[in-house]
A and B are shown apart, each in its own frame.
Chain A
């Protein structure tokens, strides 16, 4: 049989196709081309030359660009040529510009040019040579590349008509689209999955947990409408938000903070607030476009609402201590990939090779983000930023310019032109920044939030009370033994501490009032009021008193230390001397007159997360929070979520579809561009995208729509549908379900849930690594960063924090080891066997057989067949031996079932 390159090529992925071209090249080396390809130079053109030109030349000589007015996307275009004349003389490769330019040894002459691509290999050149020599034949009617701006995904989706099928009743649009293709190709759709498997699929899909026993009973009874009712209940279940939050956290690169040791270098402290916001928003079914807008720009759209500000954790997560360019690059790349399905990152160094995105577009897009930084805002009840605060973003450097980097090299900014914020202009709608947004006072003076002063005051009061108690204790001890010098000094130190705490308490109180007064002046824009000036004076004096009290404490401590000094040691004497001097200076300052320009330190309501871009070895200089924001990000948010935007809804639908069905509608989840290939079911994707937009971005409605389709409910088996395998082996047309390997979180949560050891408490700070082994929280709540990963979850392909548009579904021996050997699985076996045995004792005395059936139905979703049942019973009997060991034999059986392929698979 001749080697049918074209057919293989069409069916294989890009890389394989490329490999095949290389393979063909290998043949070309050793044999006559015509002989290898069994046919003609025409065949050579379509299967090898054209793909080669497409990959290496079209970017500049095709529809995207026509450098030197030359196009090479058809033979006719190559013959017509460009500025330098025709690219080819058929039959005469040596005379042909095409061959000469790709073979030139002079770098100035050579194509592709330096920095634009590697030279063609010898084998690649030879294939072009051979084709031209054979007369450069091509099939007639060859079509030129389409205008890239007309690429399907770059046009606003229109709702396509739902196919009507004669004689077929389709209650569901998804099934109508598939049904039309099935009818055309002669595919026979698989029947619905058996109820236990269907319920397990649905439950894991919607809440990330196995179904509860009562639901299983119901499914097997199949009362009318049970499935639809279960769908509604699961969508309303708060655990649904947890389940789907984890999906979106993959896409949006959730990561707890990491660095080196204690130094924060990446992401933000307390980023879990963003996670909780995602969970809550999904449960509340917040319109998805609103979610996206808040993540990009809540600081401009809802600046007074801390709860919604949590959404900007999306951008705060990209913080990187040392390098602004990396921070910006990641932001551009992943906003592009996760919200637009655009690979901006390919245009950082040069114009995009496939999509009409120029290098300047990259930097214009970056300019949207250029001003933003990260900060922590205090929450009510906490004044320690290390313990809790909300990480969020704000525009810090409103004038910070963006330059294009020549060939992407950050050392070579092109300073002749400042890049203005923008998006690729071939995408609708038009993008407009309406100018700076004035922020409410509390946004840039966060210390004025009503709870901040109060919390600082009560924290100071607590400290004052604590030091007062300590003072009383020290005084009592001293009174007991007045001659004990050490106790005397302890008391002196305690006195000084208490005095300091009192001074601080007073200072907090006065600074709080003075700050409020200052702000009131600012708001009323009235000139300095006498009261304000008086408060300012009080605040400054209070701070001076704190300084003096601190100096007094230092002195008391130095004196105490001197007490225990070695004889002859002078350091302690010197320390006391220095402290005395500092105290007298502080006291002098306390009584000196207040200078007109003197200010007091405001209370802290938020803290900028410092950067070290300047490589000075310490934090970059602090700046005040601006009272305005550029409005760039809210403009972007409006643009992305506009119904006119062609990309966002499609990207969202593609992700949702992928998580429900195990493979996306458009082949790449982060690239809807020309490189990625067209979706087989583009109409369906577009229909769903329009549906999503027109439903008001109702995500739960989309979930409902998908999980109630026949396509979703089908069996994942090939059984009885062998005929389909020849027609559609990849199940592109949804004639059956794809079996899915469940995610790491589902594996662990299921083990815990079956054991009755899962804690359904929602939200809050993540479980630290050291406590995870014994934690009963859902895996969603485990600390998860670049540096810290849970070993068990990692083995099952947990999300990579830098990029995870799709989870891996590996099948490796380490997973077997984890399930076979981990305490987690072993403990689950024991606990499950114990619980279910007890449950059976009260309801069903029929023993092992009932236990096996129950275990199969609950753990795997199906009833054991006769052979499975007898194998299990036989093993149980072998293990049991004596009656007392029954429970551990059953634990052993459960352990086997937890290792069953179908425990980690959604059938």
Chain B
């Protein structure tokens, strides 16, 4: 009997979710794919030599002003109070140039705002690279020589469905699609069998998507709370039980399941079920330890801002994220300001809003970059700092900015990317991405390339992927 047929049986008989688990973990573990020269064709192993192993994905919900973070625009100060039509940049608002918009939820927001609003904070050049960063992000600025800043992203949904769009590459009108983390989980094998490989930290209320979508729930992120007493759903007994009987119960369970193999030989589902209990047992025991920050030095904790109330929560999340990637978790997705539309959604009072939120994330992010680098982890870990869109150059009300999809920024660091570079640009008022325009999936493609995956080889039957789903790696920010 050719083993491949056995395997195909194994895959076809148990639905997509199981197939996902099987492909990622079992096939490769038992070396079947290796025996058939299919390493590069099957999920579960990189398609080519990876530069990075893990991703820490920091997502600022609500929409960070690109002009007041990583893409300062002095022209806004110069023409403050003028309508765009009165400036030399009137043509930015040509209907043709605005046509990329596909609005899912029209409401009072997501409109063009015509009166230019001055920058609400200063900015200066930092590091050897001399990249400009706003004064609200001093710690990140100190790390600017580690960053690859991309100032030319665009997306299509000018409401917060863009959160989903950034993760799936698809406008919500197209339906549900797997997120980047789901694809990475699907495409790559495990680095640590004691831990889930795709973890989500922080609230994601508005962005309600299940990551696996058609890849199956096996590729959904596992939600993790930074609470050692209750880190995982069903992560500890909900009812009091006799702890001294637990191990004996697991022993008996294993024995009984194994015993069933004689009546039902070569049943892959039974084997997977046994394995899933073992993994659950290990997860349950290893995760609380990972959250136990007592093992970190006071210096580290202070660096992440754990001693300061305004950034303590995010600091703990990032410190845990470092510990997770250190232990071999593939993809840690952290949502900041989740809940409702997202905390960064400064339609009014932008200065108060952004300065406060920036203070909450800046020091922890700076500490994370520094910490990863000092431990030699930054080379193999990709850190991404992104938001669903930017904000309008024009003011909304007296002191806010609206959603803006035509040009905005993100940055990436580590994982074999170039350090201290800026790529792409918006026009002089930060309206349109004009140089090296990148749709959000170009960020996906960049990450996948560094992880050794070719998204074109990740496709399921009956699930046609489009060019826009794959994106193009941003070669200019990659180390050659």
Contact = CB atoms under 8 A, between A and B. Distances in A.
Interface residues of A, number: 95
B236 A821 contact: yes
Given A11-B5, A718-B264, A802-B175, A872 B236 contact: no
Contact of A22 (B222, B238, B457): B457
A820 B278 CA distance: 12
Given A730-B9, A731-B13, A11 B4 contact: yes
Given A20-B41, A787-B208, A826-B237, A815 B276 contact: yes
B225 interface: no
A895 B248 CA distance: 12
B255 interface: yes
Nearest to A730: B9
Interface stretch (A143-151, A687-695, A760-768, A805-813): A805-813
Given A719-B263, A729-B8, A812 B241 contact: no
Interface string B216-229: 11100010000000
B458 to A, nearest CB: 9
B195 to A, nearest CB: 10
A817 B233 contact: yes
Interface string B274-288: 101101110110000
B232 interface: yes
A19 B41 CA distance: 5
B20 A810 contact: yes
Nearest to A773: B238
Contacts of A719: 263-265
Interface string A811-852: 111111110111100110000000000000000000000000
A871 B255 contact: yes
B15 interface: yes
A800 B16 CA distance: 14
Contact of B13 (A118, A615, A730, A786): A730
Interface string A842-880: 000000000000000000000001011001100100110
A802 B42 contact: no
Contacts of B196: 813
Given A719-B265, A811-B269, A896-B253, A826 B238 contact: yes
Q: What bracket does the count of chain B residues touching chain A fall in?
A: 35 or more
Contact of B283 (A11, A810, A813, A905): A813
B412 interface: no
B81 interface: no
Contact of A868 (B259, B265, B467): B259
Given A612-B106, A671-B462, A868-B256, A817 B217 contact: no
Interface string B151-192: 000000000000000000000010110000000000000000
Contact of B107 (A617, A795, A865, A867): A617
A716 B259 CA distance: 16
Interface string B30-45: 0000001110111000
Interface string A774-814: 00000000000011000100110100101100111111111
- Pick from A786, A814, A907 the residue with the most CB of B within 10 Å: A814
Given A11-B8, A725-B6, A812 B21 contact: yes
Nearest to A818: B234
B191 to A, nearest CB: 16
B459 interface: yes
Nearest to B467: A118
A283 interface: no
A814 B280 contact: yes
A808 B106 contact: no
A326 B173 contact: yes
A668 B462 contact: yes
Contacts of A872: 252, 256
A287 to B, nearest CB: 31
A12 interface: yes
A3 B234 contact: no
B294 interface: no
A823 B460 CA distance: 37
Contact of B105 (A26, A322, A821, A868): A322
A26 B6 contact: no
B274 A800 contact: no
Given A14-B461, A811-B18, A826 B265 contact: no
Nearest to A902: B260
B18 A901 contact: no
A442 interface: no
Nearest to B454: A22
Contacts of A615: 106
A897 B249 CA distance: 10
Contacts of A807: 15
- Pick from A14, A323, A617, A897 the residue with the most CB of B within 10 Å: A323
Nearest to B232: A817
B4 A8 contact: yes
Given A718-B265, A813-B283, A822-B238, A675 B462 contact: yes
A346 B464 CA distance: 9
Contact of A411 (B99, B249, B457): B99
Contact of A809 (B18, B208, B241, B264): B18
Given A802-B175, A811-B272, A879-B248, A823 B238 contact: yes
A671 B222 CA distance: 32
Contacts of A809: 14-15, 17-18
Nearest to A810: B17
A889 B245 CA distance: 9
A907 B264 contact: yes
A23 B234 contact: no
Interface in B124-160: none
A900 B256 contact: yes
A440 interface: no
A807 to B, nearest CB: 7
A810 B108 CA distance: 42
A888 interface: yes
A741 interface: yes
B245 A879 contact: yes
Contact of B264 (A18, A717, A726): A717
A879 B277 CA distance: 22
A806 to B, nearest CB: 7
Contacts of A331: none
A899 interface: yes
A816 B248 CA distance: 16
Contacts of A416: none
Nearest to A741: B269
A135 interface: no
B459 A18 contact: yes
A892 interface: yes
B280 A808 contact: no
B78 interface: no
A797 B175 CA distance: 19
A901 B216 contact: no
A13 interface: yes
Given A717-B265, A907-B264, A808 B16 contact: yes
B29 interface: no
A730 B277 contact: no
A663 B206 CA distance: 36
A814 B460 contact: no
A338 interface: no
Given A11-B4, A731-B13, A814-B222, A871 B41 contact: no
Contacts of A822: 234, 238
Given A812-B17, A813-B283, 4 more contacts: A18-B459, A716-B264, A718-B266, A904-B273
Interface of B: 1, 4-6, 8-9, 11-18, 20-21, 36-38, 40-42, 99, 104-108, 173, 175-176, 196, 206, 208, 210, 216-218, 222, 232-239, 241-242, 245, 248-249, 251-253, 255-257, 259-260, 263-267, 269-270, 272-274, 276-277, 279-281, 283-284, 457, 459-462, 464, 467
Q: Which 6 A-B pairs have the closest CB atoms?
A: A810-B17, A816-B280, A808-B17, A809-B15, A813-B280, A823-B238
9 contacts: A676-B462, A718-B265, A731-B13, A741-B15, A810-B20, A811-B17, A813-B196, A814-B280, A826-B237
